[in-house]
Amino acid sequence: MIKKFAVVLAAVLCCNIVGCGSREEGEKRTAASAAEDSEGNTEQKEEITIQGSRSSAAAIPDPVWNTADYSGYFQGVQGCAVVFDSKEDEYQVYNEEMCYTQFSPCSTFKIVSTLIGLETGILTGPDTTMGYDNTNYPVKAWNKDLTLQEAFQSSCIWYFRKVLDQAGTDEVQRQLNELVYGNCDISQWEGSGVNPQPQLNGFWLESSLLISPMEQVNIMSDIMEGRSEYVSGETEILKELMLVQEADGHKIYGKTGSGNAGDGWFVGFQEYQGKYFYFAFYVRDENAGGDGDKAEEIGIKVLTENRQTQ
């Protein structure tokens, strides 16, 4: 079933024209969306929306919105998914209300942290090394000097904590504002103390920064399709770091994220037959730790098993 979410898109347009949105604003958008859906109004409506980051003032044709049924992949796990075909300007949306709700990005923020480091010159490539401080970290792979590639693959928090601290609050805030990254809130710079070691905390880890799955997808497409300040050399390095699967003529690039509050993410994009599909898969279980691996498992199945029909 195809329908356009007029109320939600109008809210997104308004929010992004004025800047980053708060969690309260995000919840209002989800409530409005749910109200619209409950009315059973499936008519196509006239509205104006903005592509990608929605940061320009130019009107473009409306994208196509499809309600996807991925329940068989989630198998009773609470969650949602957005898959965006940039060539066709078409979205597949599963569990719409949750897709517009903002959550902590957790380790998916390493996508943007990498770009911040490259843009500022703190990072110069996959071999950029940060020195180990001899702290005994809970992940064995973190207990040594690490290159960017090693840190990204092992999702090392202290490495990216150093990158962001070197970039500084003003520059990080500027770049998040340019991306319109969720609520753009880095006010809890040192984090909420969710982890016992200070080097393993930050505003992106169950703290002040929040983002929705839909925002994750739109920002990912902005970055990879040249609608951000990041140049091709920087995004090519990011692609190299994000590659997780290559088979049968397609490549999947992604980053997981997990939180103690139950958040599990898999965010990235797929290349297939000359087309790009940007995605965000999110799972949530408040009675257990977050499971980014579960989100990745679901995402890869959806992307690989449905690509023939996309």
| Cα radius of gyration (the chain) | 19
Q: Which of 189, 114, 202, 188 is nearest to 158 (CA)?
A: 202
Alpha-carbon distance of 204 to 155, in angstroms, equals: 13
DSSP string, the chain: -B---HHHHHHHHHHHHH-PPPHHHHHHHHHHHHHHHHTT--S-----B-STT--S---BPPPEEEE---HHHHTT--EEEEEEETTTTEEEEESHHHHTS-B--GGGGHHHHHHHHHHHTS--STT-EE-------SSGGGSS-EEHHHHHHHT-HHHHHHHHHHH-HHHHHHHHHHHT-TT----STT----SSSGGG--TTSSSS--B-HHHHHHHHHHHHTT-SS--HHHHHHHHHHHEEEEETTEEEEEEEEE-TTSEEEEEEEEEETTEEEEEEEEEE-TTS---HHHHHHHHHHHHHHHGGG-
Give the residue numbers marked as catalytic. Answer: 107
Report the chain's terminal Cα–Cα distance, integer Å.
Answer: 15
